[in-house]
Amino acid sequence: MTLSLLRCMECGNTHQLDDPVYVCGKCGGLLDVEHDLDTLRPTISRALFDSRLGSLDAPYSSGVWRYKELVFPEADESAIVTRGEGNTTLYRAPAKLAAWVGSERLALKHEGENPTGSFKDRGMTGGVTHAVMVEASGVVCASTGNTSASMASYAALAGLRGLVFFPYGNIAMGKLAQSVAYGAISVQVKGDFDASLALVRQACREFGIYLLNSVNPFRLEGQKTIVFEILQQRRWKVPDWIVLPGGNLGNVSAFGKGLKELLDLGLIDRMPRIAVIQAAGAAPFYQSYREGFAERHTVKANTIATAIKIGNPASYIKARRTLQWTDGIVEIVTDQEIIDAKAQVDKSGIGCEPASAASVAGIKKLIASGVIKPADDVVGILTGHVLKDPGIVIDYHQGTLDGLQSTYANALRTIEPTLADVQALLNEEKVPTR
């Protein structure tokens, strides 16, 4: 008997895990990995996961594979493609940042500390391990930049040919550089992310390439370990809120599934509430949420946070399920709010990319409107590293971002190589001297 199978969320059709599929073979619907929790229950405990903390050996040293029994219970250990992902810091927000947000109990889980600088690595170790298992020779994705950076790296590690498509002129420099450097065939599509994803999905059906976008359920199995690790780092104490940015909605889908499994297994005693934050110019899920999910909306997306510039989120159904399970909500923030929150996270010393700052901007807005209380126990997810999008950092601090205020600018200075200029600078900046 197998411990896990794939079940279609649309028609209920099932597949075995070693079938070379990632969407339903019958109707093309989204597949869910379903683990046989009753059989797994006796082997799973907080103590098991705690015993692997600090492990020096792969795969259990990874913050994804530490939870192997809930990710891919039957994966052959020697076939796992891992870079030791996860094990990211759960920061207590520095006092000034917490005060700016208006929270008394704010923590930030920094997924930008993963090997390629975003949470995508947690999903990619799952997806590429499955690709190897079904003997795929090449892997493909459409991406706003982080999925492609991650896939390029893991494909190279596994010896697979990687092919990435991104929207022309809408990808941050750090991400583009990673994809090219890791050796993926890197293709700019003259269209937006939604057009790129539709094209790639079609191409996969037509040409039989293995798809590694988050419609691939093995990606989400890896990504759900973000919430496992948060809970474990908090000694399994459930926060009141977990707040994350939403684009294609893979991550929020993964969070809901992971939390539901922990609850069903008795590893946690209640659900946290989930808040998904979308950029105001890329908020189709927010529109549907506001109407009680009467309709699935799509939009022509526009935001400075290119990572979440997505108008037709692929994991809509799974994300809606997460909100049902967690009494979740959706909020929007403007580009100005995003960019100012980013400046605050950056100058706190932690740093993040623009899309990540949507979490922090969202928490600030939800506290101001009274939905989140200042005393609530809140965990915000920072999804990507500050160096992913260096262009925006420089433009913000130089005051050259089109149509946006550089509220917290830290302007770059230029001086002559003289002591007099240094002294003038020290005086001007009131830098304490001897």
Query: In terms of CB distance, is 186 or 214 closer to ligand F0G?
Result: 214
From 43-51, 129-137, 327-335, 352-360, give the range in contact with ligand F0G by CB under 6 A: 352-360
- Give least dist CB 26 to ligand F0G, A: 26
- Give least dist CB 404 to ligand F0G, A: 19
- Give least dist CB 203 to ligand F0G, A: 16
Q: Is 152 in the site for ligand F0G (CB under 6 A)?
A: no
Query: In terms of CB distance, is 251 or 312 closer to ligand F0G?
Result: 251
Question: Total binding residues for ligand F0G by CB under 6 A?
Answer: 22
Q: Is 247 in the site for ligand F0G (CB under 6 A)?
A: yes
CA gap 417, 410 in Å, rounded: 21
Return the residues of window 108-137 that contact ligand F0G according to CB under 6 A: 118, 120
Q: Is 382 in the site for ligand F0G (CB under 6 A)?
A: no
In three state form, how does the secondary structure of the chain look?
CCCEEEEECCCCCEEECCCCCCECCCCCCEEEEEECHHHHHHHCCHHHHHHCCCCCCCCCCCCCHHHHHHHCCCCCHHHCCCCCCCCCCEEECCHHHHHHHCCCCEEEEEHHHCCCCECHHHHHHHHHHHHHHCCCCEEEEECCCHHHHHHHHHHHHHCCEEEEEEECCCCCHHHHHHHHHCCCEEEEECCCHHHHHHHHHHHHHHHCCEECCCCCHHHHHHHCHHHHHHHHHCCCCCCCEEEEECCCCHHHHHHHHHHHHHHHCCCCCCCCEEEEEEEHHHCHHHHHHHCCCCCCCCCCCCCCCHHHCCCCCCCHHHHHHHHHHHCCEEEEECHHHHHHHHHHHHHCCCCCCHHHHHHHHHHHHHHHCCCCCCCCCEEEEECECHHHCHHHHHHHHHCCCCCCCCCCCCCCCCCCCCHHHHHHHHHHHCCCCC
Select the residue interacting with ligand F0G from 62, 103, 114, 147 (CB under 6 A): 147
Select the residue interacting with ligand F0G from 103, 186, 216, 248 (CB under 6 A): 248
CA gap 26, 10 in Å, rounded: 10
Rounded to 5 degrees, what are φ and ψ at 280? -55, -35
Query: In terms of CB distance, is 251 or 344 closer to ligand F0G?
Result: 251
CA gap 227, 400 in Å, rounded: 37
- Give least dist CB 355 to ligand F0G, A: 4
- Give least dist CB 256 to ligand F0G, A: 12
- Give least dist CB 334 to ligand F0G, A: 17
Site track 206-245 with ligand F0G (rule: CB under 6 A), x = hit? --------x------------------------------x
Site track 303-322 with ligand F0G (rule: CB under 6 A), x = hit? ----xx--------------
- Give least dist CB 308 to ligand F0G, A: 5
CA gap 282, 297 in Å, rounded: 11
CA gap 133, 210 in Å, rounded: 12
Query: In terms of CB distance, is 106 or 308 closer to ligand F0G?
Result: 308
Select the residue interacting with ligand F0G from 342, 384, 386, 389 (CB under 6 A): 384
Query: In terms of CB distance, is 150 or 348 closer to ligand F0G?
Result: 150
- Give least dist CB 424 to ligand F0G, A: 40
- Give least dist CB 251 to ligand F0G, A: 4
**Under a CB-based contact definition with an 8 Å cutoff, are residues 363 and 245 in contact?**
no
Which class for 413: exposed (0-12), middle (13-18), buried (19 or more C-beta within 10 A)? exposed
Q: Is 249 in the site for ligand F0G (CB under 6 A)?
A: yes
Q: Is 353 in the site for ligand F0G (CB under 6 A)?
A: yes
From 67-75, 140-148, 343-351, 424-432, give the range in contact with ligand F0G by CB under 6 A: 140-148
- Give least dist CB 17 to ligand F0G, A: 22
Query: In terms of CB distance, is 303 or 383 closer to ligand F0G?
Result: 383
Query: In terms of CB distance, is 3 or 176 closer to ligand F0G?
Result: 176
Query: In terms of CB distance, is 147 or 225 closer to ligand F0G?
Result: 147
Q: Is 250 in the site for ligand F0G (CB under 6 A)?
A: yes
Binding site for ligand F0G (CB under 6 A): 118, 120, 143-147, 214, 245-251, 307-308, 353, 355-356, 383-384
